[in-house]
């Protein structure tokens, strides 16, 4: 065998897994279908950054039109899948908001009779949360009543005038709020410059202050001797009998290559991982790997997101600082007296750039062409403040990812189709949340509010398509990430999540990858 482990996918999970195995002395290769990005090429400092956000740096593959993507048919879903194929994956474009799941999120079945408990507890993952927060460099403020056990953090991202206004509004309602946990360096650290409040973090951070997985885990992994193969599209996992022995992939020139290893670990995301499994058919596995009982791709979860925008008379500093890291609230994490089950997070966002502000005003017929256009625009731009409502999803077997044989990527590998419908419970939750978002914006002094949801191009948090559990009839992997029915095949990304909480999953994705990586190391030591 050429390697001890092949890791497929170099995003948040894959980068953490690569580092975890490499630092324990394993010979590791990580294969990523996207390129190594160059921070000086990010459009964040360019005047046309908003134009590029809608094209080459769009989180929506259909708008990006990149040769590194695979087709995703999500027309039947009210929410479009968002991702980014590159070394570092979606962390290149994410906002850096970095909370943990809470202990109760791992016990949803036993605590609330909804879904299934995780076979891994919060206490088991806690050391890996702490390890991940140290490696990624998480900023925040200790003492949060929602997370009383979080202590060691970098100084928080400054709230600014807008954040202070919203904090007072939450206080007036006696609602929980806290400065956002952020994977953003607020001080010089490990050779990286601190955040300079540039603003458009979602088109990449040229400063290197936002902790994307390429400049954290992947950089360290290369120093440890890991092999990183970029611009390489894995088509299938190779097997001998019931054992995974390697992968087949297309290199950047389009040539077919084979790579062998003692174990294969899929970290290609909750859409990419089931795609590879389902495309890995053989006489031994006619339905794909891990899919003897038709579980691969099922129980898809996408956080439905509602959005409420407030317009203020005063000009706010909402174009200063990381857009997605200001204030969050778990006041409604569990609403015992609400008509809906589960809960949601209120996430305060800074305002938009000038182009999006103009588009928003135009859609609301608040931007009139002619002599008044400048005054109309000025009444919107830098006068906006938004609250997003991130709703927890119940895992439903009918919400799924499946192969789409009518489409293929440039190598001829089948794309995927998303079957996802918004549940009545999610609709009730979103209505409840948008009402409370309006309430806090009005308490902050907003003169007008606009609410809409679900917002289509917001499917960042894709989870649950190869869920973790001990019963193969309802799960694809066990608690250690080992695939049921296929030896030496592991899955360690958000696809293994049995439930999805209501907070951004990036921290938990990496903590789970580090946990599974540790189990792989310990299993190897005992063999």
Q: How confident is the model at residue 335 (pLDDT cuts 50, 70, 90)?
A: confident
Separation of first and last alpha carbons in the chain: 17
Percent of the chain predicted with pLDDT > 90:
80
Please check whether residue 194 lies inside any domain of the structure: yes
Residue 238 maps to a domain: yes
Mean pLDDT over residues 192-214, rounded?
A: 90
Query: Of the segments 102-116, 149-163, 281-295, 315-329, which one has the largest average pLDDT value?
Result: 281-295
Three-state SS across 89-144? HHHHCCCCECCCCCHHHHHHHHHHCCCCCCCCCHHHHHHHHHHHHHHHCCECCCCC
Residue 361 located in a structural domain: no
Q: What is the secondary structure of 21-38 as a DSSP string?
A: HHHTT--EEEE-SSPPP-
pLDDT at 479 over 80: yes
**Chain segment 350-396, per-residue pLDDT in tens:** 877 777 776 776 666 666 666 777 677 777 778 889 999 999 999 99
Q: Which of 37, 136, 129, 41 is nearest to 88 (CA)?
A: 37
What's the domain count of the chain? 1
Beta carbons of 24 and 519 less than 8 angstroms apart: no
Collapsed DSSP state (helix, strand, coil) of residue 463: strand
Asked if 234 contacts 249 with a C-beta cutoff of 8 angstroms, the reply is yes
Distance CA 11, CA 513 (A): 11
Average pLDDT over residues 99-105: 96
State the DSSP code for 215: I
462 pLDDT above the threshold of 70: yes
Among 194-198, 209-213, 362-366, 375-379, name the one with the lowest average pLDDT.
Answer: 362-366
| Cα(82)–Cα(63) distance, integer angstroms | 10
Query: What is the spatial distance between Cα 52 and Cα 46, in angstroms, rounded to a whole number?
Result: 9
pLDDT score for 157: 93
Residue 526 is predicted with a pLDDT of 58
CA gap 450, 359 in Å, rounded: 14
**pTM of the complete model:** 0.96
Under DSSP, is residue 168 helix (H, G, I), strand (E, B) or coil? Answer: helix
What angle in degrees, to the nearest 10, is found between the helix axes of 122-136 and 506-526? 110
Whether residue 88 is preceded by a cis peptide bond, meaning omega within 30 degrees of 0, is no
Q: Express each pLDDT in 498-518 by its tens digit.
A: 999 999 999 999 999 999 999
Q: What is the pLDDT of residue 337?
A: 73
Give the tens place of pLDDT for each residue, 419-445.
Answer: 999 999 999 999 999 999 999 999 999
Pairing of strands 327-329, 178-179: antiparallel
Residue 360 inside a domain? The answer is no
With b meaning 16 or more CB within 10 Å and e meaning fewer, what string describes 1-23? eebbbbbbbbbbbbbbbbbbbbb
Q: Kindly report which listed range (171-180, 266-275, 362-371, 454-463) carries the lowest average pLDDT score.
A: 362-371
Q: According to the model, what pLDDT value does residue 210 have?
A: 95
Q: What pLDDT was estimated at residue 339?
A: 87
Ramachandran category for residue 478: left, alpha or beta (phi over 0 → left; psi -120 to 50 → alpha): beta
Is residue 33, in this structure, part of any structural domain at all? yes
Indicate whether 415 belongs to any domain.
Answer: yes
**Quick one: how far is CA 196 from the chain centroid?**
24
452, two tokens: 């809409």
> In the numeric block, which tokens belong to residue 211?
């902790």
Is residue 470 one of the residues assigned to a domain? Answer: yes
- pLDDT, residue 288, reads 98
Of 6-20, 122-136, 164-178, 332-346, least confident by mean pLDDT is 332-346
pLDDT of res. 357: 73
Average pLDDT of the residues of the chain: 93
Q: Which two tokens stand for residue 318?
A: 């909402």
pLDDT at 265 over 70: yes
Phi and psi of 269, rounded to 5°?
90, 170
Task: Print the domain residue range for 318.
Answer: 3-40+51-351+383-526
Please report whether residue 366 resides in a domain: no
**Mean pLDDT calculated for residue range 8-30:** 98
Q: What is the CATH number of the domain that holds 224?
A: 3.50.50.60
């Amino acid at each position: 065998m050429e390697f001890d482990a092949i890791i497929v996918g170099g995003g948040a999970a894959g980068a953490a897994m690569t580092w975890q195995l490499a630092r324990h002395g394993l010979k590791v290769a990580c294969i990523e279908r996207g390129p190594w990005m160059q921070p000086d090429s990010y459009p964040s400092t360019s005047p046309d950054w908003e134009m590029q956000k809608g094209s080459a740096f769009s989180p929506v593959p259909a708008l990006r039109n990149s040769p590194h993507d695979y087709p995703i048919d999500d027309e039947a879903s009210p929410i479009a899948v968002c991702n980014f194929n590159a070394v570092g994956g979606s962390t290149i474009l994410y906002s850096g908001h970095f909370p943990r799941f809470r202990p109760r999120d791992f016990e949803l079945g036993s605590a609330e009779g909804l879904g299934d408990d995780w076979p891994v507890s919060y206490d088991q993952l806690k050391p890996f949360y702490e390890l991940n927060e140290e490696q990624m460099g998480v900023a925040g403020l200790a003492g949060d009543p929602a997370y009383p056990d979080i202590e060691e953090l970098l100084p928080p991202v400054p709230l600014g005038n807008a954040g202070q206004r919203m904090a007072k509004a939450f206080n007036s309602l006696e609602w929980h709020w806290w400065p956002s946990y952020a994977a953003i360096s607020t001080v010089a650290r490990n050779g990286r410059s601190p955040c300079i409040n540039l603003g458009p973090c979602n088109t990449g951070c040229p400063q290197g202050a936002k902790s994307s997985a390429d400049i954290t885990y992947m950089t360290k992994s290369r120093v440890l001797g890991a092999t990183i193969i970029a611009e390489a599209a894995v088509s299938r996992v190779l097997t001998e009998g019931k054992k995974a022995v390697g992968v087949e992939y297309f290199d950047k020139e389009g040539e077919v290559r084979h790579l062998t290893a003692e174990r294969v670990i899929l970290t290609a995301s909750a859409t990419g991982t089931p795609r590879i499994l389902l495309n890995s058919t053989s006489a031994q596995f006619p339905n794909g790997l891990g899919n003897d009982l038709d579980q691969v791709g099922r129980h898809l979860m996408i956080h439905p997101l509602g959005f409420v925008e407030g317009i203020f008379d005063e000009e706010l500093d909402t174009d200063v600082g990381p857009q997605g890291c200001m204030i969050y609230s778990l006041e409604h994490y569990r609403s015992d007296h609400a008509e809906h089950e589960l809960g949601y997070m209120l996430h305060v966002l800074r305002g938009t750039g000038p182009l999006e502000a103009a588009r928003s005003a135009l859609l609301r017929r608040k931007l009139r062409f002619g002599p008044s256009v400048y005054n109309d625009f000025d009444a919107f731009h830098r006068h906006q403040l938004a609250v997003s409502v991130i709703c927890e999803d119940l895992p439903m077997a009918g919400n799924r990812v499946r192969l789409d044989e009518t489409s293929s990527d440039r190598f001829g590998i089948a794309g995927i189709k998303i079957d996802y419908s918004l549940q009545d419970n999610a609709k009730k939750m979103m209505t409840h949340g948008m009402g409370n978002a309006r309430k806090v914006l009005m308490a902050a002094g907003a003169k007008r509010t606009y609410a809409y949801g679900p917002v289509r191009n917001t499917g960042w948090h894709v989870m649950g398509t190869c869920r973790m559990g001990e019963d193969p009839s309802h799960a694809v992997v066990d608690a250690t990430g080992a695939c049921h029915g296929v030896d030496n095949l592991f899955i360690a990304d958000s696809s293994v999540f049995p439930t999805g909480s209501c907070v951004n999953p990036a921290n938990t994705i990496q903590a789970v990858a580090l946990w599974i990586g540790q189990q792989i190391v310990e299993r190897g030591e005992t063999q």
